[in-house]
Chains A and B, each alone.
Chain A
Amino acid sequence: MARSSRFGLHFPRSFAIPRPRKFPRRGFLMPLPVALSLIDVSVYYGARAALERVSLDVRRGEIVGLLGPNGSGKSTTLAVAAGVLDPATGAVTVEGRARGVDPAAFARRVGLVPQEPALYDELTALDNLRFFGELYGLAGTELRRRAARALARVKLSDRARDRVGTFSGGLKQRLNLAAALLHDPPVLLLDEPTAALDPASRDALFADLARFRDDGHAVLLTTHHIDEAESGCDRVAVLETGKLVACGAPGELLRPRAAERAVLYGHLRARPPRYLERAIRHRLAPGAALEITGRRLRLSADTSEDLGLALALLLAEGVELEAYRTPAGALERALREPTEQTEPTPC
């Protein structure tokens, strides 16, 4: 369902995702098995701590969102979980197996979807899948069958023989996902999967993820868009400067606050040039903030009046919005007011 704004734009009322469930939910009949486990993991880039004693479990049949601002350690957490980066301390296990014991067996249980589409533009969709399938030991009829199934799962069967270079950002992201699903891993890791997507493609991606979750996959994704975490994840882990500061179901993180910030999420038609971005930021009212990631936008202010002024300024500078919405704001408040703590939060 869509409604019109006073600027004449159309945008969806909500990003709510239908959740048909085939896999038993937590607490129903039996607890779901832990698929991915990060135990007291620390990572250092030189002397700087990128992650500090992070512990996190992701169970089969759930989507966990890693939430946090840029540089909070989300991508590092994902890299460690995927076995791309070795932790300085702590351990990572997938279905009880550590990477160091048998790297290939660990790799077969993890599907990684990097932020930038990890594909070869020069090859066709099918050739890409064949290559990535071969890396996981698939061959012959089995490889062909799985490639066809993966393409069908992301609704790209009709583009199988097209070069990836001709795909839109949304199609590439879907193929990126298909490449990670090819070997049918129990754990799926997605790094900012919606950064380059328009609202419709983002909804489609979350619908796909919900289906995989219901098929029994454990999904861990990173995002710094609270509305995605709120509507698309079963649990949310909040990272700040490499530390896990909060963890729980989106509803559990709701905390009533006296002062609310007015927030608006939008999708840009095109990213404005950096100089214009800086100029707009410079002219915003005190307390107002503008964040742009790819074509995603987050505008916030202390009051709704300030938010309106900020939006008017943005539009006056020629920045075009395809769609925008204001969230319920619950997680927003929790994230903006981090808890003071010394002990790491297990999740």
Chain B
Amino acid sequence: MSRVQLTLALARKDWRLFWADRRAALLCFVVPVLLAATFGAIFHRPASGANPRLPVVVVVEDGGPFTRQVANEVLASQRLDAREASRAEAAAQVAERRAVAVVLPAGFERLKLWEPGSTQERPELVLLHHPNATGERQWCEGAVQELVMKCVARETFGASDRESAPPFKVAAEAVSPYPRTQFNSYSHSFCGMSIQYLLFWGMESGLLLLRERRRGAWARLRAAAVPLSCVIAGKALATGSVALLQVLVTFGVGYVAFGVTIGGSLVGFVLLACAACALAAATGLLVAALGASEARARSVSVLLILGVSMLGGLWVPAFLLPGWARDVSLALPTTWAMRGLETVTWQGGGLGAALPSAAAVAGFALALLAVAALRLRLTERAIREGRV
């Protein structure tokens, strides 16, 4: 029998073993879809409709008319979801991180008398915020400053609403190297969870091989003089084909139910999917080659997979990570797989844009495969020679 036929026989056996437990096989496809849908829903923002508004509580502690005017401006702002409350109520809302509080304290009315070049002590406006809400505080500060200056301009210079408006327009423009970019939070989560669960499937496949090597069936394989290269190729083929099916199912459901589309190169997507499946197969072989026992191999693998998933930007976009983490992540295959898949899905990138990522992922897969094969070969030789 040729080596190809032997490899196919071994792969068929693994394929049958995978489908023997139908429920486990089903979960292998359902779990990534469920997680991707959940992550997508959490980060989902409708493309059209009202802009998000910051929840703000206004506390008015000065009874003057100018202060009232400022409070009314804040309450009427289209950028803030503001309501008036007492200081105690505001403090409670802030403590629960449900809002930022704008306090107009006693003496704020003095701002009405302000003149350009005045050296008098400036009245205070207090912002109360949760310690972990610096971003919201800055958002609120910017919006409130604009509103207060509008009131001051009206009071000091008698300017109308139109005259007190900013003397410029803001033109916001999303910039991307790809013209067809259309962000969809589900695209990001389906790309991320697909890659993460490919690695988890690779790990499970590796653990199966680890289990097999401790069972009598492996002795029969050794007695049948099956070359190790066929065992490795058969395992990689079976793992890779199940992984490819997993990608098809995940993105199929994403397309039908959540509008996840391949906006860019389809060939690029196929290349990246194949490279990611090869990465899953190599991960499995590495787990089988380096794992001393199933329990230990599982614990270490889960930790590593979750680590590279997080650093690779599979859970949240990579730009949210600190700078050092973004630098480190360049040495991880997950980063490149994620970049590539995002390029060909919601960013709408072409084949040229996907190729570097596909090549990087394939390179990582080959490197891991080489390490696994070498280690398995050394172990098998040691077993044959009675050194293990």
- Whether both chains belong to one complex is answered with yes
Q: Give chain B residues whose Cβ lies under 8 Å from the Cβ of A137.
A: 1
Contact A84 B1 (CB under 8 A): no
Q: Give chain B residues whose Cβ lies under 8 Å from the Cβ of A319.
A: none
- B265-308 contacts to A, CB under 8 A, are none
Given contacts A85-B386, A112-B219, A120-B217, contact A103 B225 (CB under 8 A): yes
Nearest CB in chain B: distance from A196 CB, A: 12
- Docked Cα-Cα span, A118 to B223, in Å, equals 12
Contact A118 B215 (CB under 8 A): yes
With both beta carbons as reference points, the residue of chain B lying nearest to A122 in the complex is identified as B20
Task: Determine whether B49 belongs to the interface, using a CB cutoff of 8 Å to chain A.
Answer: no
- A98-143 contacts to B, CB under 8 A, are 99, 103-104, 106-107, 110, 112, 114-120, 122-123, 127, 131-132, 134-137, 139
Contact A135 B221 (CB under 8 A): yes
Task: Determine whether B222 belongs to the interface, using a CB cutoff of 8 Å to chain A.
Answer: yes
Contact B386 A50 (CB under 8 A): yes
Q: Give chain A residues whose Cβ lies under 8 Å from the Cβ of B9.
A: 131, 134-135
Task: Determine whether A82 belongs to the interface, using a CB cutoff of 8 Å to chain B.
Answer: yes
Task: Determine whether A179 belongs to the interface, using a CB cutoff of 8 Å to chain B.
Answer: yes
Nearest CB in chain A: distance from B218 CB, A: 8
Contact A45 B219 (CB under 8 A): no
Q: Give chain A residues whose Cβ lies under 8 Å from the Cβ of B16.
A: 122-123, 127, 131
Nearest CB in chain A: distance from B25 CB, A: 11
Contact B13 A83 (CB under 8 A): no
Given contacts A43-B386, A134-B1, contact A84 B223 (CB under 8 A): yes
- Docked Cα-Cα span, A126 to B254, in Å, equals 39
Q: Give chain A residues whose Cβ lies under 8 Å from the Cβ of B223.
A: 82-84, 107, 110, 112
- Docked Cα-Cα span, A118 to B36, in Å, equals 40
Contact A44 B225 (CB under 8 A): no
Residue in B12, B21, B224 with the greatest tally of chain A CB atoms within 10 Å: B224
Task: Determine whether B162 belongs to the interface, using a CB cutoff of 8 Å to chain A.
Answer: no
- Docked Cα-Cα span, A271 to B220, in Å, equals 28
- Docked Cα-Cα span, A139 to B222, in Å, equals 20
Contact A139 B13 (CB under 8 A): no
- Docked Cα-Cα span, A179 to B386, in Å, equals 26
Partner of A123, one of B17, B224, B384: B17
Partner of B386, one of A45, A123, A176: A45
Q: Taking chain B's interface residues, is the majority helix, strand, or loop, or is none over half, making it mixed?
A: helix
- B203-235 contacts to A, CB under 8 A, are 215-226
Number of interface residues, chain B, beta carbon within 8 A? 27
Task: Determine whether A16 belongs to the interface, using a CB cutoff of 8 Å to chain B.
Answer: no
Q: Give chain B residues whose Cβ lies under 8 Å from the Cβ of A123.
A: 13, 16-17, 20
Residue in A99, A104, A115 with the greatest tally of chain B CB atoms within 10 Å: A104
With both beta carbons as reference points, the residue of chain B lying nearest to A117 in the complex is identified as B216
Contact A88 B225 (CB under 8 A): no
Q: Give chain A residues whose Cβ lies under 8 Å from the Cβ of B384.
A: 84-86
- Docked Cα-Cα span, A176 to B1, in Å, equals 23
With both beta carbons as reference points, the residue of chain A lying nearest to B216 in the complex is identified as A118
Task: Determine whether A20 belongs to the interface, using a CB cutoff of 8 Å to chain B.
Answer: no
Contact B386 A88 (CB under 8 A): yes
Given contacts A85-B384, A123-B20, contact A114 B219 (CB under 8 A): yes
Task: Determine whether A46 belongs to the interface, using a CB cutoff of 8 Å to chain B.
Answer: yes
Q: Give chain B residues whose Cβ lies under 8 Å from the Cβ of A131.
A: 9, 12-13, 16
With both beta carbons as reference points, the residue of chain A lying nearest to B2 in the complex is identified as A137
Q: Give chain A residues whose Cβ lies under 8 Å from the Cβ of B225.
A: 83, 99, 103-104, 106-107
Contact B13 A120 (CB under 8 A): yes
- Docked Cα-Cα span, A43 to B384, in Å, equals 10
Q: Give chain A residues whose Cβ lies under 8 Å from the Cβ of B221.
A: 135
- Docked Cα-Cα span, A248 to B343, in Å, equals 76
- Docked Cα-Cα span, A289 to B385, in Å, equals 36
With both beta carbons as reference points, the residue of chain B lying nearest to A132 in the complex is identified as B220
Partner of B215, one of A116, A139, A163, A179: A116
- Docked Cα-Cα span, A107 to B227, in Å, equals 12
- Docked Cα-Cα span, A116 to B17, in Å, equals 19
Q: Give chain B residues whose Cβ lies under 8 Å from the Cβ of A118.
A: 215-220
Nearest CB in chain B: distance from A44 CB, A: 6
- Docked Cα-Cα span, A118 to B383, in Å, equals 18
- Docked Cα-Cα span, A114 to B12, in Å, equals 23
With both beta carbons as reference points, the residue of chain B lying nearest to A163 in the complex is identified as B20
Partner of A44, one of B21, B383, B386: B386
Partner of A120, one of B1, B5, B17, B219: B17
Nearest CB in chain A: distance from B378 CB, A: 15
25 intermolecular pairs with C-beta atoms under 8 Å apart: A43-B386, A82-B223, A83-B222, A84-B384, A85-B384, A99-B225, A103-B225, A114-B220, A115-B216, A116-B215, A118-B215, A118-B220, A119-B216, A120-B217, A122-B16, A122-B17, A122-B20, A123-B17, A131-B13, A131-B16, A134-B1, A135-B6, A135-B226, A139-B1, A139-B5
Sort A-B residue pairs by CB-CB distance and give the 8 closest, nearest first: A118-B216, A137-B1, A122-B20, A134-B9, A114-B216, A107-B225, A103-B225, A135-B224
**Assuming A120-B17, A135-B224, what are 11 further A-B pairs, CB within 8 angstroms?**
A44-B386, A84-B223, A103-B225, A107-B225, A119-B217, A123-B13, A123-B16, A131-B9, A132-B224, A134-B6, A136-B224
